Chain A
Amino acid sequence: MQFDSMAAFISMGGHGRYIWTAYGLTFAVLAWNLLAPWLAQRSFLADEARRLRREEPGEGET
């Protein structure tokens, strides 16, 4: 362990803002990478559900 207190860990010897901004931005980009395919899959399935209902009236709900 390189730090003896939480405050030391956050301040990182005065360079905290650089390190935490870099890690924060990276985290945000990774989170977008996880979210985007999930949303794309969901919206594709929603489109397909609509298409199936249109093409096969009488089957499924309304």
Chain B
Amino acid sequence: MWNWLHKLGSPPWFYRMTGNWLPWIGAAAALLLGVGVTWGLLFAPQDYQQGHTVRIMYIHVPAAILAQSAYMMLAGAGIVVLVWRVRLADMFAEACAPVGASMTLVALFTGSIWGKPTWGTYWEWDARLTSVLILLFLYVGMIALRAAIREAEAAARACAILAVVGMVNIPIIKYSVEWWNTLHQPASFSVTEKPAMPPEMWLPLLPCLFGLYLFFFYVVLQRTRTTALRRERRKQWARAEICRQLEVPGAV
């Protein structure tokens, strides 16, 4: 286990392994998203109150779950950076921020568009909506912070601290619908209880959710790989890899 973790923290090993995994992750993501979206748009039943607008759920819910999940991974990577100073964890964090931000943007956009026909408004300063907007600002702040600090080590630590401190927002997002009287409905899904909606309505969510997770890992791993190559370009393994990709003899 420790041996495996140690290897996982090594950029050359990470680069080689993810190179093998990526095509499979990408293919599985495309397949699951294709199935989920087709199922959700064409075959899932409409809601007796909302009609067809309920189909927005198949992208809104997975994007919102992933937006928070990505932040937790970012904070987890932050702890690894602060405690063990693993270089790769910071590369992963750097890759996570823009992708997580884009997922938050999708959750906000689709929620807002869904809000118009169901609530009669695109936006309301309700606790759930506001806390998710803060999540977006945390992501954007993280990207800006990294860009503003020139020294890599200092940037890594600053971003890690911001990521860990920003974790307080995650339970606020989750419980906002219970603590405050929000326009946003409380959660319809939980791990322990059966969902209140019929299975033919929530089943398409599963391929959409897993597909989006795999898509997330696909693009984040790709970003992490490029960052690893860039930051380690003076090292032997990265030089060899760059020469191989450029098809020049070398590997000095």
Binding site for B on A (CB under 8 A): 1-3, 9, 12-16, 18-19, 21-23, 25-26, 29-30, 32-34, 36-38, 40-41, 44-45, 48-49, 52, 56, 59-60
20 contacts between A and B (CB under 8 A): A1-B42, A12-B51, A12-B53, A12-B55, A22-B60, A23-B37, A23-B56, A23-B59, A25-B113, A26-B63, A26-B106, A32-B102, A33-B99, A34-B219, A40-B226, A41-B222, A44-B229, A45-B245, A48-B246, A52-B243
Does B198 have its Cβ within 8 Å of any Cβ on chain A?
no
A9 touches B246 (CB 8 A): no
Decide: A25 near B106, CB < 8 A? Known: A2-B42, A15-B53.
yes
Does B215 have its Cβ within 8 Å of any Cβ on chain A?
yes
| CB under 8 Å from chain A, chain B span 36-50 | 37, 41-46
| CA gap between A18 and B240 in the complex, in Å | 50
| CA gap between A58 and B110 in the complex, in Å | 56
Question: Closest CB of chain A to B250's CB: distance in Å?
Answer: 7
B99's nearest neighbour on chain A, judged by CB, is A33
Decide: A22 near B245, CB < 8 A? Known: A15-B51, A40-B223, A41-B222.
no
